[in-house]
Amino acid sequence: MKFKVPRGTQDILPSESWKWQKAEQLIRETCEVYRYSEIRTPMFEQTELFQRAVGDTTDIVSKEMYTFKDRGDRSMTLRPEGTAPVVRSFVEHKMFGWVDQPVKLYYIEPMFRYERQQAGRYRQFVQFGTEAIGSADPAIDAEVIALALEVYKRAGLKDIKLVLNSLGDKESRIAHRDALVAHFTPHIDEFCSDCQNRLEKNPLRILDCKVDREHPLMKTAPSLTDYLNDESRAYFEALKELLTIAGISYELDPNLVRGLDYYNHTAFEIMSTAQGFGAITTLCGGGRYDGLSEEIGGPPAPGIGFGMSIERLLLALEAEQVPLANDDALDVYVVTLGEAAKKEGFHVLQKLRSAGIRADMDYLDRKMKAQMKSADRLQSKWVTVIGEEEVEQQIVQLKNMAEGTQQSVTVTELIELIKG
Ligand code: HAM
């Protein structure tokens, strides 16, 4: 029997894992600069949390969740997204009472969606997300968008664009909903059964149906923008002005509705425009979710955030051929010749490592030439050679690989020299 990694998941091997570490590091640094603090929530939650927050009629909840009964017969779901758990935690820990408002949080955690596998779409993916909860100021929307863009900029991406829409407040959405129902009802029997279901429950979701995407009524569907009330319009204008002040350019897309139910007002996506980036070009999606806290039993707590997967960030870097800096070359490779030298080499190795120097040695009793080859492959800056003579004299031969020079030094001198 042969086992394979489950479909839609991947092993991240050492040749790739360093890129993940780099990406995570630059994300953490950016969050620090923007004063967002990390939150970690469990990998699974009560199923009902996602049903309520993300919405029963969304693809995520109706088709993509990993839901199971635990041994106590409770329905649990592997987290498909991070906003609902974070808002649950916000309510549970009464973060609305914290002195510093809004509460600004971020996470880098695996999410699970049972989706059809394709480039950039996985069943387990790692999402970096932020949530700023407790303010209804458009400036925090602008800040969150700026943070997302900053991450891509710091990573070195150039071919990206910000796409923006407003979904308006509740009143605007009800007006739009009525218009959608009037638009689709006469022809609803030409749509898939999911859409027929959505018409009653949540007609907005028809607009992101993957099956009926090409139906002519999709193009002529009433646009939310035309149904925004004065308050929603003013909010959107304020956000756009702030983005302009921050030097952030954007494209407006009145069809951007996002695939989760909790959104209102601001909705945005950041797309890759790089040639050769696969069919899925969305790198990041986010928006405002005033009302979500109440929906799951908390007090009013307006919020905004986004999610982006590390997978798609790395794919975008590849598509733009931006190399991430890899500075994990070895400092010292310890080459030993003979049994006694090997013992001494091991002693030197541990001393080097205790001093915080990246060092390694041969564990296969290979000949000197093979050991030197390993040192080369590991891009070691220095090589120490220890033979019988060196053991007797309590020294090592130290080679500087870049300069091709060699000198005899004691172990203490060796550490001083390398630490520079
Ligand atoms: P979302 O649009 O469902 O939003 O996902 C956000 C991002 O997660 C996507 O733009 C993409 O980078 C990544 N993503 C989603 N599904 C996959 C997948 N199957 N494989 C790889 N990457 C994927 C949310 O999840 C919201 N919680 C975002 C948010 C936070 N809104 C407000 N706060």
User: 216 CA distance to ligand 1 centroid (A)?
Assistant: 28
Assess whether the previous peptide bond of 80 is cis (omega < 30° from 0): no
Tell me, in angstroms, the distance from the centre of ligand 1 to residue 115's CA: 12
Whole-angstrom CA distances from 326 to 21, 153, 318 are: 10, 18, 15
Report how far residue 364's alpha carbon sits from residue 200's, in angstroms, rounded to the nearest whole number.
Answer: 69
Task: Output the pTM of the full model.
Answer: 0.92
CA of 269, closest atom in ligand 1: 10
Indicate the burial class of 17 (C-beta count within 10 angstroms; 0-12, 13-18, 19 or more).
exposed
| pLDDT at residue 207, rounded to an integer | 86
Residues with CB under 6 A from ligand 1: 81-83, 113, 115, 120-122, 125, 127, 129, 131, 259-260, 282-287, 289, 305-309, 311-312
**259 CA from centroid of ligand 1 (Å):** 9
**Distance between CA 300 and CA 50 in Å, rounded?**
19
Task: Supply 286's token pair.
Answer: 């986010």
The rounded Å distance from CA 324 to ligand 1 centre is 23
Residue by residue, DSSP assigns 11-78 as ---HHHHHHHHHHHHHHHHHHHHTT-EE----SEEEHHHHHHHT-TTSHHHHHS--EEE-TTS-EEEE
Q: Render pLDDT for 329-367 as a digit per residue (tens, 0 to 9).
A: 899 999 999 999 999 999 999 999 999 999 999 999 999
Other Cβ atoms closer than 10 A to 398: 19
Closest by CA to 382, choosing from 348, 410, 414, is: 414
Q: Give per-residue pLDDT as tens, 162-189.
A: 999 999 998 999 999 999 999 999 999 9
Neighbours of 170 (CB within 10 A): 12
Pocket test of ligand 1: the residue of 309, 314, 315 to mutate, having most ligand atoms within 8 Å of its CB, is 309
Tokens matching residue 67: 């839901």
- Pick the residue whose CA is nearest to atom 6 on ligand 1: 307
Question: Residue 282 Cα, ligand 1 centroid: separation in angstroms?
Answer: 9
- CA–centroid distance, 126 to ligand 1, in Å, is 9
For 117, the token pair is 């596998």
Nearest one of 134, 88, 111 to 297, comparing CA atoms: 88
From the CA of 33, how far away is ligand 1's center (Å)? Answer: 23
Question: Do 275 and 319 contact (CB within 8 A), yes or no?
Answer: yes
CA angle 249, 255, 256 (to 5 degrees): 60
Report whether 331 contacts 357 (CB < 8 A): yes
Put residue 391 in one of left, alpha, beta given phi > 0 → left and psi -120 to 50 → alpha: alpha
pLDDT at 248: 98
What is the pLDDT at residue 57? 87
Instruction: Say which residues have a Cβ less than 8 Å from residue 159's Cβ, sequence separation at least 6.
Output: 272, 273, 274, 275, 277, 316, 319, 320
CA 307 / ligand 1 centre spacing (Å):
5
pLDDT for 384 equals 97
**Which ligand 1 atom is the nearest neighbour of the CA of 305?**
33
Instruction: Give the Cα separation of 294 and 300 in Å (integer).
Output: 6
Mutate to test the pocket of ligand 1, among 12, 39, 81, 122 (most ligand atoms within 8 A of CB): 81
**Count of residues making up the chain:** 420
Q: What is the mean pLDDT of each run of 10 residues along the chain (420 residues)?
A: 94 95 97 98 98 94 97 98 98 97 98 93 98 98 98 96 95 93 95 91 87 91 92 98 98 90 96 87 96 97 98 95 85 96 96 96 96 95 96 96 95 93
Query: How far is the C-alpha of 323 from the C-alpha of 343, rounded, in Å?
Result: 40
Q: Hey, how many other C-beta atoms are within 10 angstroms of the C-beta on 349?
A: 19
Q: In a mutational test of the pocket of ligand 1, which residue from 125, 141, 264 has the highest number of ligand atoms less than 8 Å from its CB?
A: 125
SS3 state at 336: strand
